[in-house]
Amino acid sequence: HAALLLLFILSCSRVAYSGGGRSRFTSIISFGDSYADTGNLVRWADPVLPGPNPFNNLPYGETFFGYPTGRATDGRLVLDFIAQALGLPLVPPYLAKGSNFSAGVNFAVAGAPALNLTYLQGQNLTVEPPINRSLHDQLDWFQKLKPSLCKGKGADFFGSSLFVMGEFGGNDYNFLMSCNRTVEQARVYAPQIVDSISRGVEILIQHGAK
């Protein structure tokens, strides 16, 4: 399923980039977890984070970049391939202060759940590390950055931006299973997880995402 989804996204990207009467995407705005994080977690200034982050050391980054970039991989992410297919710069992480976000910004954080930290902790679930990086928190970052993203641009700026939502949900289930919940007990949370992702998409649409 993941492979088919990737092929679909890339095929759509090629059509959008090559013409065919469609507007070319001018930026990418991304949300998600480690599958999309281009360096937010390693830049997180929080005393709760334990010790040195392994993403800051080899073998992370050694295959493509030649050095660690904060990605949870030795090379590129799917998000990187999409950006390159569209002829856009690799999407910089939101926490890389001073970055140029005119061609995109990435709010994804490794380990991000769909459900809020306070909710998960209220269910007696252990979240490691316990930082506010959920989908809700990433949407808050987006709303704070929105004025500067839109400044000096046309009213339909977000209409020409590719919004990438995902992946979310996997970490929620990881937290449940690591706390010795059974599959049936974890299944109970599926409606809340799906609803959180759905509401996140709806919020972006309300802000102009197409």
Tell me the per-residue pLDDT of 84-128, one tens digit each, with 9 for 90 and over: 999 999 999 999 988 899 899 999 999 999 999 999 999 999 898
Residue 70 is assigned to a structural domain of this protein? yes
Model-level pTM? Answer: 0.86
% of the chain exceeding 70 in pLDDT: 86
Residue 44 is assigned to a structural domain of this protein? yes
Residue 11 is assigned to a structural domain of this protein? no
Asked whether 3 and 138 are in contact (CB, 8 A), the reply is: no
Residue 15 is assigned to a structural domain of this protein? no
DSSP code for 154 = -
pLDDT classification of 7: cutoffs 50, 70, 90: low
Residue 66 is assigned to a structural domain of this protein? yes
Q: Which of 108, 106, 103, 113 is nearest to 92 (CA)?
A: 106
DSSP code for 91 = P
Domain containing residue 56: 26-206
Residue 7 is assigned to a structural domain of this protein? no
Residue 10 is assigned to a structural domain of this protein? no
* Number of domains present in the structure of the chain: 1
Judged by DSSP in three states, 126 sits in coil
Residue 4 is assigned to a structural domain of this protein? no
Handedness of CA 150, 156, 160, 166 (dihedral sign): positive
Tell me the per-residue pLDDT of 95-106, one tens digit each, with 9 for 90 and over: 998 889 989 999
Helices (H) then strands (E): counts for the chain:
8, 3
